[in-house]
Structure 1
Amino acid sequence: MSVLHSAPRIASNEGRLDALAKALGSMLLDSLEDHGEIILTVKRENIEDALRLLRDDHAYQQLVEIAGVDYPGRAERFEVVYMLLSLTENHRVMVKVSTDEATPVPTVTTLWPVAGWLEREVFDLYGVIFEGNSDLRRILTDYGFEGHPFRKDFPLTGYTELRYSEEERRVVYEPVELAQDFRTFDFMSPWEGADYVLPGDEKADSPPVDDPKTTEKASETGAGAKTDAKAAEKVSDAAPAEKDSGVEDAGAPDPTEDRKDREEREASGRDTKGATEPDEKESGE
């Protein structure tokens, strides 16, 4: 069974950018198509009117997301990005406004109630203020949290930290305890090298030898027939003889088997034959 629907499977951007730019008129600051997406930058004070026009006259019924972006080098460092979706035309459009730490952005909760949660998230993480939002509270961090995490302006090692205590059933503040000191790692490039002398490389900067010594002939190395003959000479006269010479050394002790005057020792151990050999009766012999 085939289902017919008025929305196309793949929406086209052809002619859409010019139509939306013409409709927004003086509210529009910039428009472009990048990576297959239409991006519209409007004036901050006109964001509510611009989004209402896109919703009512161009069928962008759904507010999918509100996101924040931080460009610290700009005068208006923050961008608030609105993602709109047309359910009937199967098309998306991106609308942006710029602001700074102190200038508020008009709320769009008058158009989409879900914007209240999305604006709270941007406020919590970036500190952007939305004028007209009646419930602009933190939504991800604790209510007593100072600063805004995505600004990256908080210290790496602070003074207090917060966590949820299972014992007290609430959020508690405690002094920061680090398991180890903060360390800086040097990821040295093997091609560029380090800016300091590594252990063992102290002699790397020593000047080269002007006249290096080389051995070009065998006589300079000490090798040859004369050296081989000297190495074959007998080093010691007391080397082991290949056969018995028959000469007795007066200072050498007599072999044990030649001491006939020595009495035989009495054995002090007992016979353990019974413990190691089976009994004849038990073995059946």
Structure 2
Amino acid sequence: MTEEKLQDDIGVTQSASVSAEVAGLREKFGDQVLSATAGLDCEVVVLARECIVEACHYLKNAHGFEQMMDLCGVDKLAYPGHAEDAPRFEVVYNILSVSRNKRLRLKVGANERDLVDSVTEVWPTANWFERECFDMYGVIFNHHPDLRRLLTDYGFEGYPLRKDFPLTGRVEMFFDESQWRCVYRPNQLEERVLVERTWPGVDRG
């Protein structure tokens, strides 16, 4: 396969030749490489969810991406132009090759009950990143060694960074003196009556 044909097939928008990493992923995983584009800071490769662990092993061992710098979630529920039949969530992996001074961004799509295989076996630092993504978005990471909430309380319900989560939350927590513990109750928000602003020197009547 020629380099020009490879660029056409995977949608790389770089002016330079396709990178060795993208070419290698395409050769090894074929149609599971859904797209590859030149981002503002690094190449962005969208992969099929089923191959994420194997792809990460490949990038670490064959191309020297020793570190995962970050893993985060994205809720595309209200994203402009997002197709209704496309996965609602994205899991984004930012990886770094220190030895080659190169970054790469991987993305996989997932719906609410889809399982995304954990990459903790590739980069142990993914442990807490995946827990945070689970806590905030509800993405379930299969084979994770300890998939518990990380930032919210143990009894918390819902996922705060989902686009359909209410801005004020659903409950509030307070300390109950009679029970001597923290308890939850439904939000009781009172409507604020705003007073018209006045300025110095204005006759206030």
Shift of residue 54, structure 1, vs aligned partner: 0.7
Pick closer, same or farther for the CA change 1:20–1:170 going to 2, 3 Å. farther
Partner of 1:81: 92
Partner of 1:20: 21
Q: Which deviations, in whole Å up to 9, do the C-alpha atoms of 1:4-51 show, x marking residues without a partner? A: xxxxxxxxx954x43222211213111110224211111110000111
More strand by share: 2
Shift of residue 177, structure 1, vs aligned partner: 3.2
**Are 1:121 and 2:132 matched, yes or no?**
yes
Q: Matches of 1:47 and 1:109 in 2, distance apart?
A: 12
In structure 2, the gaps of 5 or more residues are 1-14, 194-205
Shift of residue 152, structure 1, vs aligned partner: 3.2
Shift of residue 134, structure 1, vs aligned partner: 2.3
Bigger shift: residues 167-176 or 73-82: 167-176
Bigger shift: residues 81-90 or 21-30: 21-30
> Please, what TM-score do these two structures have when normalized by structure 1?
0.54
Amino acid at match of 1:20: E
Give the number of equivalent residue pairs. Answer: 169
Partner of 1:95: 106
**Are 1:106 and 2:117 matched, yes or no?**
yes
Aligned match for 2:34, one of 22, 29, 41: 29
In structure 1, the gaps of 5 or more residues are 1-12, 184-285
Pick closer, same or farther for the CA change 1:142–1:80 going to 2, 3 Å. same
Partner of 2:43: 38
Partner of 1:10: none
Contact 2:36 2:45 in 1 (8 A): yes
| Secondary structure of the corresponding residue to residue 119 of structure 1 | helix
Amino acid at match of 1:91: K
Q: Matches of 1:81 and 1:94 in 2, distance apart?
A: 7
The percentage of aligned residue pairs carrying the same residue is 43
Q: Cα RMSD between the aligned structures? A: 2.6
Partner of 2:12: none
Partner of 1:63: 68
> Please, what TM-score do these two structures have when normalized by structure 2?
0.73
